[in-house]
A and B are shown apart, each in its own frame.
Chain A
Amino acid sequence: MDAVQELPDRELLTRHAQGDDQAFAVLVRRHRERLWAVAVRMMGDPEEASDALQDAFLSAFRAADRFRGESQVSTWMHRIVVNACHDRLRRRKVRPATPTEDSTLDVMSNERLGRMGGAPDHASQTEARMDVHAALELLPLDQRMALTLVDMLGYRVEEAAEILDVASGTVKSRCARGRAKLLPSLAHLRNPQHPGDVTTGRGGANPS
C-alpha cells in the first residue's frame, strides 16, 4: 500500500480530507500541468497564472471536505482553477492600471521594433501572442472563458460545460459570440500575413 501515487483521484481527496499529509500533493502533481495550461491561457501571463494556481490549490486544499463527488475530481479542480482565474480577471477589469495595458504597450513597442528591423521573427511571434491576449481582453469574461477552454485548449463542449457549470448550449453560444467578436481583431493573423494557408474548409475547427 505504499503506492500513494497510484491511488485514484477520489481516494486521494478523501484521504486528504481525513488528514493525510501526502495525498493532496500527489493529486496536484498529477493534474498541475494541465491546470497550468488552463491558467496560463486564461490569464495570458505566467506570473498571473502562477498566482491563480496558488489561489486555486489552496482553496481546493481547504475545500476538499466539501467535495460531494457529483463530478470527477479533475473537473472539480478545473472548476476551482477557472474560478480563481475568473476572480483575478474580474479584478483586473475593474482596476484599469494592469498588465492589460502593459501588454498593449508591448505590442506597440514590438511593432515599432519590427518596423525598425530589430529581431523581426521574435517580434512578430510575440506580437501574435500579444494580439490574441489583447483581443481576448475585449471579450466579456464568460465568452473568454468558454473560448479559452474550447478553442485554445481543445476541451470538448461537454467538458467545458461541466467545468463552467453551465449547459452545453450555453458554452456553444458563448463561443460563437466570442468568435464573432474576435473576428475583426484576429482575422488578420492568418489572412494577410500568410495568404498561402488560408482556409481549410468551413467547420474544420468547429466540429462541435
Chain B
Amino acid sequence: MTSHPDVEALAFFAEELLEPDEERTVASHIDTCATCASTLDELTGVGEALAAAPAPAMPRDVADLLDRRIAEAVRERAAESPARDDAAPAAGAPASGATVVPLSRRRRRGHGPGFMPKLMMVAAAAVVIGGGGAAVFNGMLSPAADQSSGVAAPLQEEGGGEAAPEAAQSYTPQVVRSETVYTDASLPEQAALTLDRSPVGGAPSSEGVEPMAPVEPVPAGVEECALLLGEEFGTRFTLVDDASYGDGGSRAWVLFAPRGERYEVYVVDPRCAQGGDTAKSVLDQGTVQAP
C-alpha cells in the first residue's frame, strides 16, 4: 500500500487540482484505503458545515443606518462649502433646491461637462486653471483641513445682487493672509510673490519662498465681493489676499483672477460688497505673470 496522502493533497484531489500522475496515485490509494476515503468525506463535510453556519438577515436598523449614511454622503457632496464662515453657515441648507450639483470637493474628476449647465462651465474653467496648484496644495493639508478648504467650486446663481444666500453654492476663492502692505509702485512684484506663495500658484518657485495656508474661516464679505467684482469685470477670482494697502496701511483685499498666462490683480476696499458701486471700491489694479 502506498503511504497516505496528506489532507491538503486530498483537498486538492477533490478540487481536481493535482497533476495527472499524482491524481492517479491518490485515486488508486483511496480505492483501497478507508481512512483516506473517509477523510475525503470529511472534507466535504467542512464545506457543508460552512454552508450551514447561520447568517442573520440584515437587521432593519442596519438598513436604516446605511440609508442615512448615503443620504449624508449625498448632502455632503451637494453642499460645496460647509460652514466656513460665521455669516454663512451651510447647516440646514443641504441639497434641497439645488438644481445643479456642484463639483465634489473631494473628487473633482468625473463630473463631465455634459452634465453641467452653462453657467457652471465658467466656474469650472477657473477651477481647471487653478487646478494644478490646488492639487499640490491639497497634498500638503491634513485630511480635516482638506475637507473644509473648498477648492474653487462652481457658481450656482446668476443674479447675486444681494449677498449670496449661504446655500453653500456660491463661488469661493481661496483666501490667504500674506501680511503684505501693497503699494501702487510695487504691486506687480508684491502680487507675484503672493501668488507664488499661495495655494493657487502651485509649488513655490524657489526655496526661500514660504507657502501660505488658506485662511479659515473666510472673512465675511469676501465671497460676495469676489462674486460681484467677478461679474463686473467678467472674470472669476481664485485667490484673495486679506492684506493692507497704501501709505496708511489700511486693510485691503487683493483679488487674483487667472486670465491665460497671466493673473489680473485688483486691490479693493473690504467694504466692496456693502452696496453702492462695487467698481468704485477698486483701489488699484495690475497684472502679473502666472507663476
Which residues of A does B touch, CB under 8 Å? Answer: 17-21, 24-25, 28, 32-33, 36-37, 40-41, 46, 49-50, 53-54, 57-58, 61-62, 64-66, 125, 128-129, 132-133, 147-148, 151-152, 154, 169, 172-173, 175-177, 179-180, 182-183, 186-187, 189-191, 198-206, 208
Contact A183 B39 (CB under 8 A): yes
Question: CA separation between A202 and B26, bound complex, in Å?
Answer: 14
| Complex alpha-carbon distance, A203 and B17, angstroms | 13
A173 to chain B, nearest CB (A): 6
Interface residue? B93 (CB, 8 A): no
A18-B8 in contact (CB<8A) = no
Q: Is the CB of B15 within 8 A of A176?
A: yes
Contact B15 A33 (CB under 8 A): no
Cβ proximity bits B94-109 to A, threshold 8 Å, 1 near / 0 not? 0100001100101101
Q: Mark B47-70, 1 if CB is under 8 A from A, else 0.
A: 111110111111100110111011
The residues of A that contact B70 with a CB separation of less than 8 Å are 24-25, 28, 57, 61
Q: How many residues of B contact A (CB 8 A)?
A: 55
Please provide the chain B residues from 180 to 218 with a CB less than 8 Å away from any CB of chain A in the complex.
none
Specify which chain A residues have a CB less than 8 angstroms from the CB of B77 in the assembled complex: 19
A127 to chain B, nearest CB (A): 12
Name B22-44 residues within 8 Å CB distance of A: 37-44
B290 at the interface (CB under 8 A from A): no
Which of B37, B41, B49 has the largest count of A CB atoms less than 10 A from its CB?
A: B49
Looking at chain A's contact residues, is the secondary structure mostly helix, strand, loop, or mixed? helix
* Inter-subunit contact B109/A175 (CB<8 Å): no
Known contacts A25-B71, A36-B58, A183-B42; decide if A206 and B15 are in contact (CB<8 Å): yes
A-B contact count (CB 8 A): 163
Residue of A nearest to B73 (CB): A61
Q: Is B4 engaged at the interface, CB distance under 8 Å to the other chain?
A: no
Of A40, A125, A180, the contact of B10 (CB 8 Å cutoff):
A180
Provided the pairs A57-B66, A61-B73 are in contact, do residues A180 and B112 lie with their beta carbons within 8 angstroms? no
**Hey, which chain B residues are within 8 Å of A61, CB to CB?**
70, 73
B68 to A: closest C-beta gap in Å: 10
The distance in angstroms between the C-alpha atoms of A199 and B11, with both chains bound, is 16
Inter-chain contact A176/B65, CB cutoff 8 Å: no
Nearest chain A residue, comparing its CB with the CB of B109: A65
Could you show 27 A-B contacts with beta carbons less than 8 Å apart?
Answer: A19-B100, A21-B95, A28-B66, A41-B55, A50-B66, A58-B73, A61-B70, A61-B73, A62-B107, A65-B107, A65-B109, A125-B54, A133-B53, A151-B51, A152-B51, A175-B11, A175-B15, A179-B43, A180-B10, A183-B7, A186-B49, A189-B45, A191-B42, A199-B38, A203-B14, A205-B48, A205-B51
